[in-house]
Every structure is written in structure tokens, then in C-alpha cells.
Amino acid sequence: MKKNILTGDRPTGKLHIGHYVGTLASRLKLQEKGDYDDFFIMIADAQALTDNASNPKKIRDSIINVAIDYLSIGIDPKKVHIFVQSEISELTELTFYYANLVTVSRLERNPTVKQEIKSKEFGESIPVGFFTYPISQAADITAFKASIVPVGDDQLPMIEQTREIVRSFNRIYGDVLVLPNELLPDNKACFRLPGTDGNAKMSKSLGNCIYLSDSYEELKKKVMGMYTDPLHIKVEDPGHIEGNTVFAYLDAFSTSEDFAKYYPEFKNLDELKKAYEQGGIGDVKIKKFLLQILEDFLKPIREKREYYEKHLDEVYDILKEGTMYAQSIAKETLKEVKNAMKLNYFADKQLLDDFNCD
Ligand code: ATP
Ligand code: MG
């Protein structure tokens, strides 16, 4: 059995550090390990349109930006196929067949979709495409026979939905589809990075992001304006770690080397947390520490981005090649799916042989 990986992002803007810790870092690790047959990264423009139908320009404009983000963090197009979802119409066809295997009430129970419907303030006007996007995500994953899907934890309900579809399909039509497994980050703090405003999730749609492409000035403004602990007013006041965004980011990004380099009064984050809780450590101090760590992380990414911004033809060719390859694979899977469903009337004359006028 082949070992394939599929993952992706919605081109609703540039990628942010939440994407990095939640899923991009796992992708880089997988890429370096090389223990796979095919590795696909999908720019999910069709999915992004499900809640951005009236703003197609935003989606179109973000495609190249997301591709540049991938290349800037070190995704290697020789090892990974980057492709654009809408170019692969086979995915839509699979979605249509899978939709028969899912009930409306099952979709209504999806906690991530529920949460998103609330935060996007759809009210009674939920687009059907948006409501059913977990089905289209199942098509994306299964079209590439992916057994590993590196994601942040908001995507777990989608993987579960995909597994249910795979089981139903294979039971009814025969063993064609591959059961996928999510790959979450090792560090729990990276499952869902909060927004700079203290919201539980950094998300392009919520405008609370630190982007991989942010300049030092933008980064500084965001870090210094970050939500911390509203009860920590004077430096001497005891501080709270729970719900404190700066500490959530330090949990995700800081290492003991960072302490040795920038904050030698403490050996590691546990020591800093204890001291903060006792009082006497100002928010400005911890924000400056975080700023140094994030700047060290973002600087090389920013520099690589500059290169690709000057070599857009390279980016374009990478996307085109990746998309063509992905299409050839999705085509094969769709053929297998339709054969299993006996939707292959004109492949031979079996339809007539089977015909019985009674
Ligand atoms: P949108 O607001 O348009 O949905 P998003 O910021 O949620 O955008 P997606 O493109 O939906 O980003 O998510 C792509 C991948 O990044 C998914 O695997 C998701 O789990 C992961 N991810 C997104 N935001 C975070 C976050 N704050 N922390 C960890 N992982 C995240
Ligand atoms: Mg999202």
C-alpha cells in the first residue's frame, strides 16, 4: 500500500504563525524524513469560496501568496506537489457521490463547522457549500489516497467525517478508499495557537494574526500590543499564565537556547512562569523576549520570500506542474470509485449482458 500525505490551506490571505506551528512544521518534518510515496499540499480555493463567494478576488490574489509562503518556509517542490484545488474537477465529482453517504444531522453536529457558522455570523443564511465542506474535504483526502493528514486540532472533526465516509463507501461498494489519520503537532501548545487579541484561535478571517511575511515593524507592533493578563496592572502584581497570549506563544516557540541568549536570568519557561505568577515581571519585558524569538524565526522566512517575489515565474511553474500531477492521480481514483459504483456503463457491453427485461 502506498503511503501518501495530503494537507492544505485556504487561500483567504497569507499564512500565519498559527499555521506554522499547527501544520507547516509537521509538513517540513515529514518532508525531511522522506518516508512517503507522494506528498500533496493543496491550496483550497474552492473551499475558500464556500464562505467568500462574493469576494473571489481575495481568493485569487491569495493563491500566489500562499504558494510563496510554502516555498519561503522551506517546502521543496522536488519533494512535494503543490496544487490548486479548483483545477481538479474530479474532486467535485467525488464530493457529489460522497454526499449521499452523509446525513444533514451528521453535518449539523460537526463542532468546527458549528463554531465557524457562529463566528462568521451566518445566522439563517448558511451557504450550502459551506455547510457541506467537510464532504468536499473528504474528497480531497481520499482522491489522493492519503493515509496521513498533518493538521491543527480544529480539523479533527473533518478527518473523523472522512473516516466515516471511507468506511461507508468501502462497505457498500468495495475496498477502494484509504482510511486517513491526522498528524497533530508533538507540542500541545501548537494544536491551536490563539490570536494576538486573546481569541482562542489565530485565524485569517478574524484578523488577529502574525503573518509569516510580516515586517519587523509589523511584528513589533503586534507583539507589543498583545493581549496578556488584564489583572496584571502593576509590575509587582502576581500575573496569570492561563489565557495569557504571550505565554501561549512562548509555549509554542521558546527554547532553552532562547533563554540562554536573551533572558539568562531564567533557565527555561517553567522558571519564568513561576516568577511571573509571583509578581515582579512586567509584560513589556516578556513581550520583548517574545519579539526577539519571533524575529529570529521570521527573518530567514522573510528573506526567502523576497527571493520568490522577484522570481514569480518559478512559483507559477511549480504550481502548474504540481496541479497537473495531482490531477492525474485524482483521475485514477475517480475511475476506481466509479468502477466500484458500477458507474462505467460504456466501458464494455456488460450493461446489455446484465439486462433483463423482466
Ligand atoms: P480561515 O479563517 O480562512 O479558515 P485559517 O487561519 O483557519 O483560515 P485554514 O486555511 O482554515 O486557516 O487552516 C489551514 C491549516 O492550518 C489547518 O490544518 C488548520 O488546522 C491549521 N491552523 C489554522 N489556524 C491555526 C492555529 N491558530 N493554530 C494551529 N493550527 C492552525
Ligand atoms: Mg480555517
29-41 pLDDT per residue, tens: 999 999 999 999 9
Residue pair 73/16 in contact by the 8 Å Cβ criterion: no
pLDDT tens digits for 313-337? 999 999 999 999 999 999 999 999 9
Distances (CA, A) of 4 to 16, 239, 294: 25, 46, 32
* Whole-number pLDDT of residue 225: 95
For residue 112, which ligand has an atom nearest its CA? 2
* Higher pLDDT, residue 235 or 149: 149
Query: Which ligand approaches the C-alpha of residue 141 most closely?
Result: 1
pLDDT of residue 302: 97
Q: Which atom of ligand 1 is nearest to the CA of 152?
A: 20
d(CA 275, CA 269): 10
Mean pLDDT of 39-63: 97
CA dist., res. 79 & res. 70, Å (int): 13
Give the whole-angstrom CA distance, residue 334 versus residue 315: 28
pLDDT of residue 357: 80
The verdict on the CB of residue 69 being under 6 Å from ligand 1 is no
46 lines ligand 1 (CB under 6 A): no
Q: What is the pTM (predicted TM-score) of this model?
A: 0.94
| Fold designation for 4-192+312-354 | Rossmann fold (3.40.50)
Per-residue pLDDT of 160-208, as tens digits, reads 999 999 999 999 999 999 999 999 999 999 999 999 999 989 998 788 9
How many CB atoms are closer than 10 A to CB 309? Answer: 14
Is 222's C-beta closer than 6 angstroms to any atom of ligand 1?
A: no
Q: Which atom of ligand 1 is nearest to the CA of 9?
A: 10
According to the model, what pLDDT value does residue 48 have? Answer: 97
Pocket of ligand 1 contains residue 43 by CB under 6 Å: no
Check residue 301 and give its pLDDT.
98
Atom of ligand 1 nearest to the CA of 10: 10
Whether 27 is in the pocket of ligand 1, judged by its Cβ within 6 Å, is: no
Which pLDDT score is estimated for 207?
Answer: 86
- Could you tell me if 139 and 166 are in contact, meaning their C-beta atoms sit under 8 angstroms apart? no
pLDDT at residue 204, as a whole number: 83
* Domain residue extents for the chain: 4-192+312-354, 216-308
Instruction: Report the CATH fold assignment for 216-308.
Output: Tyrosyl-Transfer RNA Synthetase (1.10.240)
Distance 152 CA to ligand 1 centre (A): 7
Lowest-pLDDT range of 57-66, 87-96, 303-312, 348-357 = 348-357
State if residue 202 touches ligand 1 by the CB under 6 angstroms criterion.
yes
Residue 201 near ligand 1, beta carbon < 6 Å: yes
Whether 2 has a pLDDT exceeding 90, the answer reads no
Which atom number of ligand 1 is nearest to the Cα of residue 12? 3
* Res 266: pLDDT: 96
pLDDT, tens digit (0-9, with 9 covering 90-100), for 209-223: 999 999 999 999 999
Q: What is the pLDDT of residues 96-127, one digit of tens each?
A: 999 999 999 999 999 999 999 998 899 989 99
H or E segment and range at residue 319: helix 312-340
Mean pLDDT of 282-305: 97
Q: Which atom of ligand 1 is nearest to the CA of 191?
A: 29
Q: Is residue 1's pLDDT more than 90?
A: no
CA-CA distance, 245 to 255, in Å (whole number)?
Answer: 17
**Average confidence score pLDDT of the chain:** 96
- For residue range 222-278, list pLDDT tens digits in order: 999 999 988 888 989 899 999 999 999 999 999 999 999 999 999 999 999 999 999
283-310 and 56-73 are packed helices; what angle lies between their axes, rounded to 10 degrees? 100
Nearest CA to ligand 1 atom 22: 19
Is 80 exceeded by the pLDDT of residue 358? no
| Among 71, 62, 44, 9, residue whose Cα is nearest residue 136 | 44
At 253, list the grid cell: 516557540
pLDDT of residue 205: 78
* CA–CA dist 160, 112 (Å, integer): 12
